[in-house]
Amino acid sequence: MLTEERRRRILETLASDQRVVASALAAEFGVSEDTVRRDLRELAEEGLLRRVYGGAVPRTPIAPTYAGRRSESVEAKSAIAATAARFLRAGQVVFFDAGTTARAVATQVPRDLALTVITHSLPVAAVLAEHPTVEVIVLGGRLLKESQAMVGAETVDGYRRIRADLCVLGTASVHPDIGLGAFVHEDAEVKRAMVGAAAEVLVVAAGEKLGTTSPYLIGPLSVVDRLVTDSAAPDAVLQSLTHAGIEIVRG
């Protein structure tokens, strides 16, 4: 089998199974594991997958910067936001994550809904500053310019000192086996603190993030109560997430 054909089949298997194992690929192709590992390494260098122990998983395709994400999946984020906002209840204390999808949810909070929102996101705080019945508490920390949000020990401690009814959580990736991921280590630390201090976790993620991975682990799927995604989310991945006990809602 030619190298080009072998790598095409690796990517096809990865797209359908969300994971490939080097030993299984070597047996299937009739080549050595060293050959497969070289294929995986070169595909990873091209940004087409992410290597893990024993094989590879999909890499999330979204931009790592806030400015880049603002222009991506705009219609999907709008649909997700309108659906996610329906799960907000009067009188709740709600954590709002940083990120463009969480900001979109903030824009959809009904004008007559009274909430207390705790956030480390400057864009979320700016949106809700104009809301007549939402009290906004902004946590301090070091400004991570690429996400326009606070990070660091002060931010983490701030979340740990509060008990929220709901956490509206953004994520760079959602993988059935690996869990939730983030691009930046400090961002993942803040998200873990949010999840740990909330009674319920609502993940908002466009379909293109499902079945993919990113470098820093937020937590396993067991931390998620509900996932709101869009109509383009792949059915095979949704089935895997449903089997993991997550309620799936399409916007």
How many CB atoms are located within 10 Å of the residue 221 CB? 20
Q: Give the orientation angle of helix 185-196 with respect to helix 153-160, to 10 degrees.
A: 10
pLDDT tens digits for range 206-247: 998 998 888 899 999 999 999 999 988 888 889 999 998 999
Tell me which residue of 154, 150, 144, 162 sits closest to 125, measured CA to CA: 150
Whether 251 has a pLDDT exceeding 90, the answer reads: no
Residue 36 near residue 22 (C-beta atoms within 8 A) = yes
Three-class SS state of 191: helix
- Which residue ranges make up each domain of the chain? 3-57, 66-250
* pLDDT band, residue 70 (cuts 50/70/90): low
For residue 39 the two structure tokens come to 């294929």
pLDDT reported for residue 212: 87
| Arithmetic mean of pLDDT, 43-58 | 84
Higher pLDDT, residue 202 or 11: 202
Q: What does CATH list as the number for 66-250?
A: 3.40.50.1360
pLDDT reported for residue 75: 86
CA torsion angle 76 77 79 81 (round to 10): 160
pLDDT tens digits for range 72-109: 668 889 999 999 999 999 999 999 999 999 999 999 99
Three-class SS state of 47: coil
pLDDT reported for residue 61: 66
Distance CA 144, CA 150 (A): 6
pLDDT reported for residue 166: 98
Distance CA 99, CA 169 (A): 9
Q: What is the pTM of this model?
A: 0.80
How would DSSP label each residue in 149-168?
A: EEESHHHHHHHHT--BSEEE
Q: What does CATH list as the number for 3-57?
A: 1.10.10.10
Tell me which residue of 106, 78, 101, 71 sits closest to 210, measured CA to CA: 101
